[in-house]
Structure 1
């Protein structure tokens, strides 16, 4: 199942919710900043069209600020994101997803912060395999608010938890005073 959880003290305004087969969308405002949170459980098949509905829904919502998080069941960078794989997992779906990332200028938060660090979020014991399948992906407009990305050990799971922290208060709004240059009127 999918869930997006908030602390009881977290102040936000919910505008709308959407649900598609593999994703849950919350359109909300935090600190007067509108964004869409998307929790995804990516299909584990190699259908290149698997993620089209996700991006069609993002387009339908129309919010340029969004965070997609979850288990994507594919690796974005095979050179850094998998170990002991004979073949790339879901290569056609991966290729299509990367095209969508380019169209929407989506950032992989972990890779932006740690371009060459190898860290896996999924593991299998026998035969031993590791991969990064879990991501926080953001629209470019949210990069300025990123504060922290970390991994959490998980209990009785083959996936590690991932945590993303954003700080909307670190950018203070000014007075909004605008002055017109009167000398532009004289010719």
Structure 2
């Protein structure tokens, strides 16, 4: 059983289908199993569109299509069983509790106001306290640096802000720790760059309880070219080792068994089958090499962005900023091309298999059940209204069969 990778990221709006695809693909590439997203700018129906590819479960709190919105994405292979959901009506936070590897855990995604709002903190504390468990992971954009000296560049000389004090008091009351600061006590890094103020700050956090902190295997800040915020990730080790999670491997001792070798020889494919297998393998090899080349280019750009961002944090040079913007633009074009290709193939699959019996058609039909039920309800309501009018006139009420016959007669007359 491998570690569970959890990430928090302010996505700065994903209401465009291309950016939505790029974010999902980026999280998949980074092997993320739980994603805590902020500023999704999605409605309830748009949030449900995130449930695709590797995403098996999604929980969200919407505000409107222009601001706020938070979501929690859970990998389809992660054994998470939901217990309770706590939503904020203003799209500021979403909390869920459930079983993960047999342990009751609380997960939360938070987008705090960018100005001090006492009602937000009191509301968050009031809704979190009843469901707070021993294992807690809350990530998000809290819009404040906790320490004015280490969480800002250039450092601030004035004391901590009201927002920082309220966030610190919140963590103290719930028994939470800043996972990144605990894992990196002497490192100075930041998650947001303000162009108007030309300053850096660390305002994105991963707050965890003491029991989770003991099983945290590293907490890192990553560069994200798709947002103006950097992501913060952590890896949580499982509570136990599961031997059944191992992959199958060939027993090499079988190769020295004459009966096994003869079995393979007797079941060898024909020359034509071997030729098809060779061509198939060649095509797969070429496609795989092409994907690896594209991925290598993406990794080089991401590494360049990370190095340039680190250099810019130290020097604040305009020339370095221009190189950083150019690298981000190149990476964005590459990811856009990948997202467009993925959408093209999705449309192609829908065109080829959308009207044929199968899982795709079943999924499409599943979303139509509600409309069918509403149509049946409308017919029933109309029939009941007609019967009430007939009773008022002294006539015999009509049944569904009678109504059908009348409609058929009307159709034949026309």
TM-score for both structures, normalised by structure 2: 0.39
Q: Among residues 52, 58, 63, which one is paired with 2:122 in the alignment?
A: 52
Instruction: Quote the Cα distance in structure 1 between the aligned partners of 2:158 and 2:113.
Output: 15
* Number of the residue aligned with 1:119: 189
Q: Describe how 1:98-117 pairs up with structure 2 within 5 A.
A: 98-117=168-187
Q: Describe how 1:1-187 pairs up with structure 2 within 5 A.
A: 1-20=69-88, 21=90, 22-84=92-154, 91-169=161-239
Q: Which structure's CA Rg is the greater one?
A: 2
Unaligned runs of 5+ in 2: 1-68, 243-414
- Would you tell me which structure has more helix in proportion to its own residues? 2
Query: CA offsets per residue over residues 55-112 of structure 1, 9 Å max, x none?
Result: 2112121423211101000111111101136676981122122122222221100111
SS of 2:170's equivalent in the other structure is helix
Q: How many residues align?
A: 172
SS of 2:189's equivalent in the other structure is coil
Instruction: Quote the Cα distance in structure 2 between the aligned partners of 1:140 and 1:151.
Output: 21
Instruction: Quote the Cα distance in structure 1 between the aligned partners of 2:197 and 2:80.
Output: 45
TM-superposed deviation, 1:161: 1.1
SS of 1:80's equivalent in the other structure is coil
Question: Structure 1's 89 and 168: CA in aligned 2 closer, same or farther, altered over 3 A?
Answer: farther
Instruction: Quote the Cα distance in structure 2 between the aligned partners of 1:84 and 1:133.
Output: 14
TM-superposed deviation, 1:151: 2.0
TM-superposed deviation, 1:27: 0.5
Unaligned runs of 5+ in 1: 173-187
State which drifts further: 88-97 or 47-56.
88-97
Please say if residues 148 and 156 of structure 2, whose CA atoms lie closer than 8 Å, have aligned partners that are also in contact: no
Instruction: Quote the Cα distance in structure 1 between the aligned partners of 2:204 and 2:240.
Output: 27
- Would you tell me which structure has more strand in proportion to its own residues? 1
TM-score for both structures, normalised by structure 1: 0.83
* RMSD between superposed Cα atoms in Å: 2.2
Instruction: Quote the Cα distance in structure 2 between the aligned partners of 1:89 and 1:136.
Output: 23
